[in-house]
Structure 1
C-alpha cells in the first residue's frame, strides 16, 4: 500500500510501498464517484500529467482537509494503485475493505450535491439521497468499513458525518444501523449483506461480486471477462466454504430441501388468521418462546409449518427448520437434530461459527454426545458468546414439524425440555414453532416446561366455520384446475358436490388433498371418480377409510375376476406393504434389488397409486408416502370395517429381514475389502464418497443399517444353523467393515446387543457366537471406526485364542503378520472401560434393568452410561458424593457436598427438582420402593409431587448372586475373581452378571462374569 502526501512545493507525491501493516502510518482516505476520462491515474501522477485532469481538484481538496485534520498522508484509489500490474490490482481489491477500515477518517465527496442553495440545510435528507454515490457498487464498503466518515458537498462544505446522518443513510441504503455503527459483519446474515448491493452498479460487470469481498471477508482470484453471474457464483461458493461447518446434518430435513420441494403450502386466503397469529407471536418481544401447534393426523400441520417457514424465510426471520419424517433415516430420529439446527442458525448468525468450531475442536465426539451436551455446546454457548449483539432485531424462528414422528420418546422429551431454555439467550431472540400430533409423551413434555414458556393451539379445536372456509377454498382451487385441464363443463363440480366434499373432509385437509389427487388421476374420468367418493358419505366409514378406500377399491375393481383381484392384493401387500414399513425410503431401482422384483413391474404396480404415494419419474429417486396417515390406514387394525388392504407388519418385517440377508450374502453383496482399498491402513476419511456409493449402493447400505430392525420386529428368534446364524458366521466382519465405511460403527454395538436378545436358547451356538461378537465389537470399535480393513488384521490378530469370531475368520488374517506370543487365551472379565471422569469416582450404581450405569465423581459430574455400548448418555453438574436410581429407573438422585439433593430425569438429563437446606453433607442415599421418598444418612426426604411422573408397576427384583468381599468377587458364595490392589478400594455396583468398579483414577471398569 502506497500513500499520497504533499511535497514542500505543494505537489503530490507517493510514499514507499508499505509491505507490512505495522509500517503504515495513520492516513485519511477518499471515497468518490469517477468521471470518465477525468480521474487522475497512477500513470498521470508518475509522468507529471496529474494537473491536466479535472479530477486533480478532488485530490487537492482531500489533501487540504487531511492537513487541516492533522493527517500528513491520504489515499485515493484512482492514483495509488498501478492497475497495469495485475498482481497489485488483485491484492488491492482483496485488501480494499481492510484499507478503508484502517483509515483514521474517510472523506466522501458528493460531486453532484451543491451546498450553494440557501435551502440546502433544510432539504438535506431528501436531496442527499439522490446522489450518484449511493448507486455505485464500490462505495458500499467505503461507507461501512471506516468508523469515521465525513460527507462533503461539491464545494467541499461539510454536510455531516456517518453518525449525524445515520438515519438518512439507513433509509437510502437499507443497511442496518448496527452495521453503520461499526459492528462486526458476522452479526449480519449472508443474504442481508447481499441485499445491500441491490440497486448499485459497477463499470465492470465482475466488480458486482468483487466489491463485496471485504463485506464477507473472503478472497477470490480476479477473473475479468468471466461475467457477472460467474463471479457472483464463485463468491457465493467461497462464502459457503468459509461459513460451512462441515458437520453431518439430516439430509432433506429443512423446509426448502429437495425432499420437501413438492409438498403443499397453504393456498392464498386459507389459514390466514392462524398464520397471522404465528407471525404476531414471532414478532412480539414479550411473547412465550415456544408455540405448539397440535392436531390429529391429516389436519394440515405440515402444510402450515412449510408455509410459516417460507414466510419467515422471506422476512429474514427463519433461523432453522427440521421436518421429522417417520421411516426416513436421520429425519426419523434426533441423532442429527441439533447439528442440523446449529448449521442453519450459523448461516443466519455467522458470529456463532467460532464458538461452534471451538466446541468441535475441544470435543471431536460432540455429535455423538447426549442431546443436552449438543444443545449447550452447538447452540446456547455460541449464541451467548456473540459480542455486540444487535438489539431490537426480529426474532429468529426455528420451525420443527411432526415432532411425534421422532422415534424415541425420551429424545422428544429431551428436545422439549431443552427448547424451553431458548428464552435464556440474550444475544439473539429465538422463537420455536413446533407441530405434532397430541401424543401423550409430547403433552407431558410440554407440561414439564416452566410456566410461561409456551403457548399452544389445537387445530381440531379451531372454529369449524374457519376450517370449512379453508377446505372449501382448497377444493374450489384444486377441482377448478382439474376442470380446466380436462376441459370439463363450467358447472362441474356443482356447488352441492363441493359442499358434500367439505362435509366429508372436515376437519382433515388430507382427505381433501387425497380426493383431489384421486379425481385428477391421469386416464381416469373425474366425474366418475368424484361420484364414487361421494358414495362413502352414506356409510359408517372412519375418516381414514373414507380417505383411502375409494382410491384402492377403484383399482381393485378394475381387475377382471376374483383370481386377478387376489393376485393384485398379494402384489400390493408385498410391494406397498414393504414401502410403508421401510425404515428409510428407497428408489424404484433400490426396491427392485432388495425385493427382487423387476423395475418395470414395480413401476406398473405403482402407476395407479400416485394419489397416495410420491412416485418420482426418475427411478433413482426415493418413493415416499404422501402422508403418514396412509401408513396408519394400512397397518393399524380397525375393527369397525373390513379392510382387505391391511398389511401384517410382522410378516412384512420378516420378509424384509430375509431380503436384507439375501442381498448382503449375494455374490455382489458384502465381501472383504468391498471398496478395493489399496492397503489395510487406509482411513475411512480417506475413502472417496463416490467409491463407497459405487460399491455399497443404496439398497445394500439400507440392508446393512436396518436388517436387525426388521428381524427384531418380525418377532422371530435366531436359532442355530438358520439363515441369520449362517450370515453371521460368513459375513460378520464384512458387515462391520461396511458399517465403518458408511459411518455407522457405533451403531454396530447396539445391533449386536439386540441380536443377542433374539438368540434362543441362551446356551445355543449362535448365542455363544453373538456374546463373543459383542466382546469383539466393544474391544475393537475404536480402530474399526478409523480404518475399516483393520478388522481383518489388528482385530483378528489381537483377539484371544479362544475367540469364536477369531476362529470363524482366521483365514482372513493377512499372512504377512503373525503374533508369535503374548496373545490372551480368552477374553478377560473387563467388558469395557468407560473413560470420561477426570478425578476419583465416588459412587457407581446400576439401573434396575441393568441397561444404564450412573457414576459420580470428584470432578463435579454424574455420568449416565449405556451398559450395552459403553456410550455416555448424559452428564450433570454439581459436587457429587452419592448417586442412586429410583426403583423404576426413571429418576436419578444425586447428593452433593453443597448440602443439596438433586433429582434428575434419567432419559433426558433434566433436573426435575433441587432439595436445598440439608443439614450437612449427604454421603449415602437410596430411594424407598414408592420412588417418592429418599432415605439418606441424615434422614428421609419426601420428593415434591411435581418431580415424580406416573410410576409403572414394579416387578420384584431377585437378589444378585454376585457380591464383592474384600479382594474377591464372589459368585454363589464361591470366590470367582481376585481383584488386584488398585481395584480394591473402588466404589462398586453389581447387577446380575455385571460388576462395575469406579476407581480413584476416574476410570469406570465394567466387568462381565458370564
Structure 2
C-alpha cells in the first residue's frame, strides 16, 4: 500500500468529523475548525499513517466537501496532532529520519487488529515481511525489528573488506599515547587546524624515524573520538599484510565512517548495490563513491559544519610509490564537503617520493616537521615522559621487593637522569624502548638495567640506535660462558631473523610449524625481547615489531661483525626452503574436502578454509617465491623448485584459489623466470613458460571453483601442454571422452572479462604495464598487462566508448565516445582530468602525438580535430572527408596524421599545419582503421571490403592487398542414435563428426550463404540443412551426398524438420512462412502463412496430422499438416519464441523463448498449462515417455501428473525446474549435472550452439570448432 500511495499523483482525504462552511466563514473563527482538524479521528488510525506520509500531495476536505488545504500548508497543525516533524510533511526524505523516530509515529494510533500497529510501519521503514494475524503485537514488532536489523549498517559492513589491525584502537595497534603535559604545542596546533573551517583539508606531520609521529596520531585520534569528531583511522605498517598497502585502505576507512556517521550507511549500501565491484575499483573511484559522496549527503543540524577527522599514520610504510603519490594527489585535490568539515591528518617519514608529491601540491596542505622542533621543547617532553615512566618502574619494583632492596625516592640520580635525557633527544623511541628494558625483570633489577644503558652514552645521531637496542641484546648474554652465549645467538638468529624478515607477521604456533621448531624454542628466544617486540600471550596472535627501527638496526650492513647482525639474504634463503618443505608435505588434492568439483570458492566460509589451510601453509603458498627472490638462488634451489612444481603445482594453485590469492601465482611464475638460472634445469624452462599460459588461460575457472584445476583446466589445455601431460593422471575421473583440443596454446595469452557489452578498442600502454579497453557499456577499463587483473573502471561517458589511447609517458588515457566527447583520465588513479567538447557527432577514434603535445580525434561529423594535450583546448579542425571518419593515427615522427573514412579513402595530413597532403584511394568499402609502420614508411588500412591494403606513406601508392575470412558455428545436432554430430556454420558448410571420437567425418558443401540449422531425419538416413541462401538441402547421412535442394522461401531459413513417417519436410523462414515439402521428391506441398515475424522453429505432431511453428512474433501456431490451415494461435511468451516440440504421446506442446521460459501447452485445446523458468533455450524435445524435456541446456524433469494436473492451476509458473543428468548452465559457463555446476567452460569454449544426448555433449564454439565430450559422473 505504501508504494501505491507513493506512486499516486495526489491523495484526497475526507474528514467527516471536521466541519467548514465557506459561506459562514465570517461567523466562525479559524481556531474552531482548526481544533476539529487537529482532533480528527483520521490522525489516530494506524493505516492512515501511510496515506499521510507516502504521497507527495495530500489534500484535506471537510465533511461538507470544502477544501481545507494540503499537508504542506497544514503541516503545523498536523505536526501538533501527530508529532510527525514538519520537515517530513514538507520535503525531507524519510531516510533522513531514524528508525526509532519513524516507529514513534505509530504509538498514539489505534488499529482494529493489534498487529497492524507494526504492519502499518512496513512501508515507512522499507521493510517487507509476511503478515501473520494472530501472532500478537509484541511478536509482530519483534519480527519487524529483526528485519530492520538485517538492513542496519552491519549489513553494509559485511560487504566491506577491511585491513585487520589498521584502526588506532585495534588490538594489533595497542600502544601508548602522549603523556599529559607533553607535545602540547603541536597537538594544540593540529586541533586548531582540524576545527578551523577555513584551514586546508590535509595536514602532513613528517619526521624522522622514532620522533613520535604514531604516538601523536593515537593521541589525536583518542581526543577526537571523545569529542565525537573522529571519522576513521588507518595505521600503515610494512610487512603487516593488508596494512602494508592501499588495497583495503578505502573500504577500511568507510567501515569506520559508517560506525561514526551511521547516516552514511544507506548511501554506501546503495553504491555497493549499484556497483558490487566498487571495492576493487580505482582509488579515485572508491574515494569519491564510498567516502566523499556519502559524507556529502549528510544533513547539517547546526549552523556550523561538524568536524570529521580521518587519521592516516605512517604513509611511508605503504608499499607502491605510485599508489602513495596518487593517494596524496587525491587528498590534496579533494574539494571541501558541504555540512561536514572533512579533514585528513597524515604522518610519514620525509621520504623523497612523498616529499616531492606534497611539494607539487603547492599550498593545498598544511605541514609540520617534527625533527625541526626546538631541542628545548623536545627536552621538556622527554623529561616529563622519563620521569613518569621511571617513577612507575620504581613503584612497581618496590611494591614486590624486600626493604633492603628498595629503590630510593631519588632514583635515578640527577646525573643519571640527565644523561638519559641527553641520550634520548630527539628520539622518543629511545625513551620508550629503554624504559621497557629497565622494567624487564627477567635480566636484572631496574638499577642494574639502567647502569647497562648508561654504558652506551653517545652524542652521535647515527649511533643512537646502538644506544637504544644494544643494551637489550647484550643483556641476553650477560653472565653466560662462551658456549651458552653461542647457543643464545644461534637461537636468536633462528627465531628473530625470520620474525623481522617475514612478509607478514605470524603467530608463535604458526611460526614454530613453519620453522620446524618447538614453541618452547620460540618462547626461549623471545623471553627477554619484550621491550622491542610485541609478544602476545595468546598463541594465535601474531608477533610484531614494536618499531621498524629495530629491524633497520639488526640488518644494517655496517654492523656485519656484531654477533646479533642478521644476514637478510641467508634468512630469506632459509625461509624459502622452509616454505617449500611445508608445501611439499602439506598440500593435498581437494584440501578443503568439499568433493563436489563445481563448488565455488566464494561459497566456503573463511573459518572453514582456515581450518583446512593453516596460517603457516597459507603463508608458504603466498610467499615462498618472495623469500627466494630476496635470496641468491642457486642450482640446488632450481632442483628443489622443480621437484615441488612438478609434483604439487596443481595443488598449490588450488590452495591459492581457496584463499583468494590465485592472481598472485602468475606474478610469482614470471618472477621465477627472471631469477632462476634456467640453463641448469631445462625441464623447468619449458614448465614455467607453459604454466604461465596455463594460469592466464584457466585462471578464471580455477579462481571461481578451485577444484576445476583438476578438470576444466587440464581438459581444455592443448594436447602438447606440458602441464596437461605432466599431470594427466590428476584429471578428474568423470571425464569419459575428452574433447579434441588443439596441439599448442594459441597466440592468446589471457581473456580479460569485466565489460558488460561489446568491446570496441584495446591498447597497451607504451611501457607495456597496462592495457586499456573501451566498450559499449560506456566505460574504459584499465588492466594489468602482466596478470590480466582489472585495475580500474573509468566511468564518465554517457554513450558507447569507441576508442582509447595512452599518452607516450604512460601517465594519461584518452577515450573517444558516441557522446561526442573525448575524456582525459589519470592512468594511475582512473580520475577524470578533462572533457574535450567540440565534435558535433560521435567520436570514433583518438590518438596522442609521439611528443605528447597534441591529441587527434576523428568523428562522424567528417572532421579530425587537434587538441592541446596539456590544456584540452581545440587547436585545429581538419576538413576533407565526405563521410564518417573512423580512425586517426600519428606517424612515428609526429609529422603526419592519417585518417580513415567511410568515404572509402585514407587522407594524410600535415600534423604541423593541418593541411591535406595526399588522398589514398583503392578500397571499395568503408575504411575502418589506419596505422603507420614503425619506420613511418608505410600505411596500412583495413576495410569492410574484407581486405587490408599497404600503401607507400611517401607517395600514397598501393603496395599490396591481403585477403582472408573466418566464421563460426550456427547449429549442432545429434543423429537419432547418438553416434554422429552434424554442425552448421557461417562458412556455408555442414560437417559430420564422430560422437565417439570427435573426429571429422565429412564436409558437406553446397550452400551459398550461412548455414543456420541442421537436423537428422527420424530414421537417421538423411540430413536437412537450412541456409541464409533461402534453400533447404537434403543430404545422405551415409555418404554426405546432396539429394535435393528445396527452393521456395524468399528469406533466410531458420529451421527444418522431418515428419515422423519420413514422408515430409517442414521448413521455417524469416519470410514469416512455413513450407511443407515432399521428402521423396522435394516438391513444395503447401505454404503456411499467418505469422507476422520471422519463423524460427517447426515441428510435426507424432501422428503426422499437425505442425507447430514458433516465431519472433512471440506466438506458437498450430496448423493442419493435411490442408495447411491455421488451427490455433498460442499467446503467452513475452519475447521471441525460438523452439517448439510435441510430446511423443501427442498430449502437449512445449515452446522455448528468449524470455527465458518454456511454456507447456495442451495440444488439444492450446491452453497454457505451465510456465517453466529455464533460462535461454534454443531447441528442445520431449523424451520417449513425455516426462522430461530434453534441451540443448540439459534435461528437465516435468512431473505432469502431480505438478500440473493435481497441484497446479492452468498457466501456473514453476520458479525452479530441476535439470537432471547433464546440461549447460543458464549463463553458458558450466556443464551441469542435475542442475549443479560440474565442469567450467573457458570463455572461448562457451557455446554459441550446443546439444546434449545422454551423457554426451556437442558444443559449437564461437572460435569455429565443435567440441564433443562424454561425462560419467555420480554424486
Correspondence list, 1:474-485, <5 A: 474-485=385-396
State TM-score, norm by structure 1. Answer: 0.70
Distance across 2 between alignment mates of 1:801 and 1:372: 44
Asked whether the equivalents of residues 894 and 901 of structure 1 are also in contact (C-alpha less than 8 Å), the reply is: yes
Output one character per residue of 1:833-855: Cα deviation in whole Å (capped at 9) or x when no partner: 3345656645624423x332345
Q: Does 1:283 align with 2:195?
A: yes
RCO higher in structure (CA 8 A, sep ≥6): 1
State the match for 2:1122 in structure 1: none
State TM-score, norm by structure 2. Answer: 0.56
Distance across 1 between alignment mates of 2:509 and 2:828: 40
Q: Does 1:516 align with 2:484?
A: no
User: Pick from 702, 726, 729: which aligns with 1:784?
Assistant: 702
User: Pick from 445, 449, 453: which aligns with 1:525?
Assistant: 445
Q: Does 1:815 align with 2:733?
A: yes
The alpha-carbon deviation at position 99 of structure 1 amounts to 11
The alpha-carbon deviation at position 265 of structure 1 amounts to 1.0
State the match for 2:467 in structure 1: 546
Output one character per residue of 1:201-247: Cα deviation in whole Å (capped at 9) or x when no partner: xxxxxxxxx9xx99999999999999xxxx99999898453453422
Distance across 1 between alignment mates of 2:413 and 2:146: 51
The alpha-carbon deviation at position 298 of structure 1 amounts to 0.7
The alpha-carbon deviation at position 398 of structure 1 amounts to 1.1
Q: Does 1:536 align with 2:447?
A: no
Output one character per residue of 1:623-678: Cα deviation in whole Å (capped at 9) or x when no partner: 11111111111123337x95432212111111111111111111xx1100111114
Q: Does 1:334 align with 2:246?
A: yes
Correspondence list, 1:604-683, <5 A: 604-638=524-558, 643-666=562-585, 669-683=586-600
Q: Does 1:250 align with 2:163?
A: yes
Q: Does 1:471 align with 2:382?
A: yes
User: Pick from 799, 802, 805: which aligns with 1:883?
Assistant: 805
Distance across 2 between alignment mates of 1:359 and 1:615: 41
Which one has a larger percent helix, Structure 1 or Structure 2? 1
Count of residues paired in the alignment = 804
State the match for 2:324 in structure 1: 412
User: Pick from 499, 512, 516: which aligns with 1:596?
Assistant: 516
Distance across 2 between alignment mates of 1:217 and 1:697: 43
Asked whether the equivalents of residues 42 and 48 of structure 2 are also in contact (C-alpha less than 8 Å), the reply is: no
Which one has a larger percent strand, Structure 1 or Structure 2? 2
Asked whether the equivalents of residues 79 and 85 of structure 2 are also in contact (C-alpha less than 8 Å), the reply is: no
State the match for 1:805 in structure 2: 723
Q: Residues 635 and 28 from structure 1, CA distance in 2 versus in 1: closer, same or farther, beyond 3 angstroms?
A: farther
Secondary structure, counterpart of 1:590 in structure 2: helix
Distance across 1 between alignment mates of 2:948 and 2:628: 41
Moved more, 388-397 or 823-832: 388-397
Moved more, 303-312 or 891-900: 891-900
Output one character per residue of 1:74-133: Cα deviation in whole Å (capped at 9) or x when no partner: 677xxx9xxxxxxxxxxx9xx9998997999xxxxxxxxxxxxxxxxxxxxxxxxxxxxx
Distance across 1 between alignment mates of 2:15 and 2:668: 67
Asked whether the equivalents of residues 533 and 544 of structure 2 are also in contact (C-alpha less than 8 Å), the reply is: yes
Q: Does 1:448 align with 2:360?
A: yes
User: Pick from 630, 645, 655: which aligns with 1:738?
Assistant: 655
Q: Gaps (5+ residues) in structure 1?
A: 2-21, 30-62, 81-91, 105-145, 153-157, 165-177, 197-209, 945-957, 984-1004, 1006-1010
Q: Residues 232 and 354 from structure 1, CA distance in 2 versus in 1: closer, same or farther, beyond 3 angstroms?
A: closer
Query: CA RMSD of the aligned region, Å?
Result: 4.8
User: Pick from 821, 828, 833: which aligns with 1:907?
Assistant: 828
Asked whether the equivalents of residues 414 and 908 of structure 1 are also in contact (C-alpha less than 8 Å), the reply is: yes
Moved more, 808-817 or 596-605: 808-817
Q: Residues 980 and 75 from structure 1, CA distance in 2 versus in 1: closer, same or farther, beyond 3 angstroms?
A: same
Asked whether the equivalents of residues 635 and 677 of structure 2 are also in contact (C-alpha less than 8 Å), the reply is: yes
State the match for 2:1168 in structure 1: none
Distance across 2 between alignment mates of 1:28 and 1:611: 81
Q: Residues 462 and 657 from structure 1, CA distance in 2 versus in 1: closer, same or farther, beyond 3 angstroms?
A: same
Q: Residues 627 and 735 from structure 1, CA distance in 2 versus in 1: closer, same or farther, beyond 3 angstroms?
A: same
Correspondence list, 1:147-546, <5 A: 239=152, 241-260=154-173, 262-384=174-296, 392-426=304-338, 428-449=340-361, 451-487=362-398, 488-523=407-442, 524-538=444-458, 540=460, 542-546=463-467
State the match for 1:72 in structure 2: 40
Q: Gaps (5+ residues) in structure 2?
A: 2-9, 18-30, 57-73, 105-117, 399-406, 858-863, 872-932, 942-946, 951-959, 969-1262, 1264-1275
Distance across 1 between alignment mates of 2:682 and 2:75: 78
Asked whether the equivalents of residues 846 and 856 of structure 2 are also in contact (C-alpha less than 8 Å), the reply is: no
The alpha-carbon deviation at position 832 of structure 1 amounts to 1.7
Distance across 1 between alignment mates of 2:544 and 2:225: 26
Asked whether the equivalents of residues 633 and 676 of structure 2 are also in contact (C-alpha less than 8 Å), the reply is: no
The alpha-carbon deviation at position 579 of structure 1 amounts to 0.4
State the match for 2:849 in structure 1: 926
Distance across 2 between alignment mates of 1:512 and 1:234: 53
Distance across 2 between alignment mates of 1:754 and 1:769: 14
Distance across 1 between alignment mates of 2:456 and 2:97: 55
Distance across 2 between alignment mates of 1:532 and 1:508: 19
Moved more, 237-246 or 331-340: 237-246
Asked whether the equivalents of residues 845 and 854 of structure 1 are also in contact (C-alpha less than 8 Å), the reply is: yes
Correspondence list, 1:22-33, <5 A: none
User: Pick from 590, 606, 618: which aligns with 1:689?
Assistant: 606
User: Pick from 490, 506, 518: which aligns with 1:570?
Assistant: 490
Moved more, 298-307 or 807-816: 807-816
Distance across 2 between alignment mates of 1:899 and 1:238: 41
Asked whether the equivalents of residues 594 and 699 of structure 1 are also in contact (C-alpha less than 8 Å), the reply is: yes
Q: Residues 234 and 376 from structure 1, CA distance in 2 versus in 1: closer, same or farther, beyond 3 angstroms?
A: closer
Distance across 2 between alignment mates of 1:642 and 1:26: 96
The alpha-carbon deviation at position 180 of structure 1 amounts to 13
The alpha-carbon deviation at position 485 of structure 1 amounts to 0.7
The alpha-carbon deviation at position 591 of structure 1 amounts to 0.7
Distance across 2 between alignment mates of 1:482 and 1:28: 82
Secondary structure, counterpart of 1:537 in structure 2: coil
Asked whether the equivalents of residues 352 and 386 of structure 1 are also in contact (C-alpha less than 8 Å), the reply is: yes
The alpha-carbon deviation at position 858 of structure 1 amounts to 7.9
